[in-house]
Structure 1
Amino acid sequence: MHLFMATLSTETNTFSPVPTILSDYEAYYLRHGTATQDAPNLMTEALHVWRQRAEALHWSVTESLTAIAEPAGLTTATTFDALKNEILDDLRNSAKPDVILLQLHGAMVAEDEPDCEGRIVSEIRALCPDAVIGVALDLHCHLRPRLLEHADLLIAFREYPHDDAAARAKELFSLAKRQLSGEISPQIGMFDCRMVSLFLTKTDPMRAFKKEMEAAEDIPGVLSVTLGHGFPWADLPETGARMLVTTNGDLPLAQETAKALGQRFFELRDEVAMAYSELDEALDQVEATSSGPIVLADMSDNSGAGAPGDSTYVLEAILERGLRNLASAIYWDPDAVQACVAMGEGAEIELDVGGKVEVASGRPVNIRGRIMAIKSGLKQHLGPALEPLGRMVWLRLQGEIDLVINDLRIQVYHPEVFEQMGIDLSQKHLVVVKSLFHFYTSFAEIASDVIFCATPGRVNPNTARIEFKQRDLNFWPRVHDPFALD
């Protein structure tokens, strides 16, 4: 038997004016058939699992492209074509595959292709009509008709923060193997929940609902249950949460189960969506609380959702309030990093930080401080995976404010971002992280409190305010009951 596998992943914020180009993939992670020779990251964990499983069965393995970019605006047409065509060329040049497994994101949009994943899988299906095609997806995927038509198996991460990529990859491989042997004949049913929001799975009631999904897999004939949360900041007709159920040859069961679970999820809509504070309210809470460290999430400048990663709204506010004994990361500012490198560790420096990428960045903040450390080659954990951090600089302002900047757009996942630079978070009253939710599991272990903050910026979590043009506006929370007229 022969396995062909590849990874192409980015999450597209269609409202961002910053295009995603080939150099963005090169800067973050681009390998031409060699990703499994490196330590796994979130989007390559599956490749490691699939290679190990296939080789244990004495299958041959062809590993194609792995291309990953930090989310931003539309991927340029030339970039998408180059990456897609490399995968297709590798497929044409390999032996006929029996199984094709892909780790895609599910929310990638290019200049001339609103459905990148559907396009890739449809072209692969045309080349290999008899192969078993399985696709692993990010939880924030858009589940669209072309993908469902051409893939045999679709499974998305179940956890947010995403720490179950390997588990989902094992599940997908097992189902593909069973289909290959003729043991199962997958049928997929889908239900549109008509919800556009964000759902953290590590706390109830989402944690409890996830268990309901898992229990549904014990229904005779049900093979897999996936909830695609959707990616809110993409203006597409299909944007939003959708329930996916795969059964063994029973399409009505798949459709009925997806509808039942999707309706149950909709019933919980007011409970499962995350609560958050506005910036002034959040900082009032910080000032009124004596114990620490308090972790404040700058949700709207999460580069993992396509925000610039250099917004200065929170920085300006904490400086204006005269807050002290705090640490904040990560501000993406390659020019400021280069200026610090030129000065060297220990130097006093004055420079403008942040506010440079686009209108959602705010304005640059002039700071004066000491360069405490400059480091390269560091990584941070996201679950078991390791993600790059680029070149990092630790700046100390006014003797009590620690600021971390870097030259690679990446959100904060783990306290390692601070600790590896030499910053002791246990001594801080406030820790500000540019992240939506991925920071939560690791930071909750060290925090006296966690505040989710809807700051100004590109990815404000109030999804009812998103100015959709292509996606109809009959969705919760913009409409309390979008099923009322059915």
Structure 2
Amino acid sequence: MRVFTAVLATETNTFSPICIDRRGFEASLYAPPGQHPETPTLCSAPLTVGRRICAQKGWELIEGTAAWADPAGLVSRAAYEGLRDEILDQLNSALPVDAVVLGLHGAMVASGYEDPEGDILSRVREIVGPDILVCAELDPHSHLTKRRAAATDFFVYFKEFPHTDFVDRAEDLWQIAVARLEGKAKPVMSIFDCQMIDVFPTSREPMRSFVDKIMQIEKSDPDVLSISVVHGFMAGDVPEMGTKVVVVTNDKASKGDELARSLGLELYAKRGTFMVPQIDERQAIKEALAEEKGPVVIADVWDNPGGGTAGDSTVLLQEIMRQQITNVAFGTIWDPIAVQICMAAGEGATIPLRFGAKSAPGTGTPVDATVTVVKLVRDAQMRFGESFAPFGDAAYVRFNGIDVILNSTRAQSFDPSLFSVMGIDPQSKRVLVIKSTNHFFASFSKIATKIIYCSAGTPYPNNPAVTPYKRASKTIWPMVVDPLGTGHNNA
């Protein structure tokens, strides 16, 4: 067997002011054929898992380019078309192939392309023809369009949020692909549109039990090859934005349709109950200070670079400064210019510095402080499960008993190693302030005495009922109370 694999992925917040060009991919991951490291990134696990599977099978894996950019705003037309055509040219050169296995995200939007994944998948299908297997692993925070479904045999999405299972799901993808190529299965995909958009953390109920349930169905029912929930991505203003359920069966389309509908209606009945309750910055700090022992983790959930924001909000920092709280560490505030200034000053320097809140309204105001540059790290990285997440050149500065990590590559706060790599002992701090919606939970929950979810400022369009969408459907929940007419109302 000859199998072609490649990766092209990012998550686009169409409301974000930060555009992505080719340099955005190169800063996060750009690996020409054969140069991808052994450790996968979030969306490149199909490539690294494929190396092992194909080696075991004695198959030939033809690697194309792997490119990933940290979430932001629109991808430039030149960047998307250039990377797309690079991969398609590699596929053409690899022909004939028996399968194409891709790593995608599913929420990319590029200038001139509302559905880049649908575009590249359709072009792949045109190249290989109707009978060659085409499949992909995707992030659940994405859009599932009719165009991409029509071009693909099946999809597998991460189940967990935080996405701790991206390697496991790549294993599932390849298991189904191998069965198909060896003639042991005929995967058929069923899709149900839940007519809603919500946030579904699997670290809490009711989503925890739902994911456990679908995994049990996969395990116990031989007809069911895979079940995925496409959460949707509310910051992507595209026509087919929303939550969907995907069931892949072994040539049992009717059974898959029925199961997808049943599971989708179960999610729909619980809409509005999944997301962790959030409090504002004043209440968050009050609750943190009420704890006798630290570290208390305050998650600045909506200034999350993993959702495409800048990650430079200072709303929580300004409140901590106002209350004169000490023994607090912030990880991170994105400000490449401030990092450059600190790099020029050198470790140990005490300098006046303005940083943060440069990207957009609703992120607070820049902080002016006299800071000590404690530590500088080039090309800093933190752990994220089985991979590493870069946050670029970084500076650890201290002022008034407050520690702040300034970074040059936007990245959400995945893991306490974010602090330790910069010389900060996270467990010695009274309060840790991080920027992430829920990906932080798996690792930070191991050291936190309490976790507080805070909604500070308005860097992210987090209320679809009032978000000024221009392209997304306005006929789904919560824009409409009960679009499926079931009588269930959790608005």
TM class by shorter chain equals over 0.9
State which drifts further: 334-343 or 178-187: 178-187
Q: 1:247-303 CA distances to partner (integer Å, 9 max, x unpaired)? A: 122221111110001111122224322221122221222233333211001111111
Q: Report what 2:329 is aligned to.
A: 327
Give the CA deviation at 1:216.
2.4
How far apart, CA to CA, are the structure 2 residues paired with 1:384 and 1:401? 31
Q: 1:182-202 CA distances to partner (integer Å, 9 max, x unpaired)? A: 222222111111221211112
Partner SS, residue 15 of structure 1: coil
How far apart, CA to CA, are the structure 1 residues paired with 2:461 and 2:441? 17
Give the TM-score normalised by the residue count of structure 2.
0.95
Q: How many residues align?
A: 485
1:295 aligns with 2:316: no
Q: Report what 1:99 is aligned to.
A: 99
Q: Report what 1:370 is aligned to.
A: 372
Q: 1:300-359 CA distances to partner (integer Å, 9 max, x unpaired)? A: 111111101112111112111222110001111111111111111011011101122233
Q: 1:184-229 CA distances to partner (integer Å, 9 max, x unpaired)? A: 2222111111221211112222111101111222334222101011
Judge conservation of contact 1:136–1:154 (CA < 8 Å) in 2. Answer: yes
Q: Report what 1:133 is aligned to.
A: 134
Partner SS, residue 64 of structure 2: strand
- Of 276, 279, 284, the match for 1:277: 279
Cα 1:202–1:35 change in 2 (3 A) is: farther
- Of 214, 221, 229, the match for 1:219: 221
How far apart, CA to CA, are the structure 2 residues paired with 1:209 and 1:485? 20
Judge conservation of contact 1:153–1:176 (CA < 8 Å) in 2. Answer: no
Q: Report what 1:336 is aligned to.
A: 338
How far apart, CA to CA, are the structure 2 residues paired with 1:334 and 1:14? 22
- What amino acid is aligned across from residue 59 of structure 1 in structure 2? W
How far apart, CA to CA, are the structure 1 residues paired with 2:302 and 2:204? 21
Give the CA deviation at 1:485.
7.8
Give the CA deviation at 1:459.
1.9
Q: 1:411-440 CA distances to partner (integer Å, 9 max, x unpaired)? A: 110000111212122221111001111111
Judge conservation of contact 1:311–1:457 (CA < 8 Å) in 2. Answer: no
Cα 1:36–1:23 change in 2 (3 A) is: closer
Partner SS, residue 110 of structure 1: coil
Map 1:130-209 to 2 at 5 A: 130-209=131-210
Cα 1:21–1:350 change in 2 (3 A) is: same
| Unmatched tracts of structure 1, length 5 or more | none
Q: 1:367-400 CA distances to partner (integer Å, 9 max, x unpaired)? A: 11211100123321211111112111111111x2
Judge conservation of contact 1:306–1:458 (CA < 8 Å) in 2. Answer: no
How far apart, CA to CA, are the structure 2 residues paired with 1:8 and 1:208? 32
1:48 aligns with 2:48: yes
Judge conservation of contact 1:42–1:386 (CA < 8 Å) in 2. Answer: no
Judge conservation of contact 2:313–2:459 (CA < 8 Å) in 1. Answer: no
Q: 1:76-132 CA distances to partner (integer Å, 9 max, x unpaired)? A: 111111010001000111131101100000000111110111110100000001311
Map 1:450-465 to 2 at 5 A: 450-465=451-466
- What amino acid is aligned across from residue 32 of structure 1 in structure 2? P
Partner SS, residue 379 of structure 2: coil
> How high is the sequence identity, in percent, across the aligned residues?
35
How far apart, CA to CA, are the structure 2 residues paired with 1:216 and 1:85? 39
State which drifts further: 79-88 or 244-253: 244-253
Alignment root-mean-square deviation, CA: 1.6
Q: Report what 1:115 is aligned to.
A: 115
How far apart, CA to CA, are the structure 1 residues paired with 2:336 and 2:294? 31
Give the TM-score normalised by the residue count of structure 1.
0.96
Judge conservation of contact 1:299–1:461 (CA < 8 Å) in 2. Answer: no
How far apart, CA to CA, are the structure 1 residues paired with 2:266 and 2:145? 21
Partner SS, residue 412 of structure 1: coil
Q: Report what 1:27 is aligned to.
A: 27
Q: Report what 1:472 is aligned to.
A: 473
Partner SS, residue 20 of structure 1: coil
Q: Report what 2:416 is aligned to.
A: 415
How far apart, CA to CA, are the structure 2 residues paired with 1:43 and 1:235? 22
Q: 1:35-65 CA distances to partner (integer Å, 9 max, x unpaired)? A: 4344322222221101110121111111101
| Unmatched tracts of structure 2, length 5 or more | none
Partner SS, residue 36 of structure 2: helix
Partner SS, residue 167 of structure 1: helix
Q: Report what 1:317 is aligned to.
A: 319
Map 1:411-450 to 2 at 5 A: 411-450=412-451
How far apart, CA to CA, are the structure 2 residues paired with 1:465 and 1:373? 43
Judge conservation of contact 1:230–1:241 (CA < 8 Å) in 2. Answer: yes
Q: Report what 1:58 is aligned to.
A: 58
Partner SS, residue 297 of structure 2: strand
Cα 1:230–1:162 change in 2 (3 A) is: same
Q: Report what 1:354 is aligned to.
A: 356
How far apart, CA to CA, are the structure 1 residues paired with 2:370 and 2:198? 39
How far apart, CA to CA, are the structure 2 residues paired with 1:155 and 1:20? 26
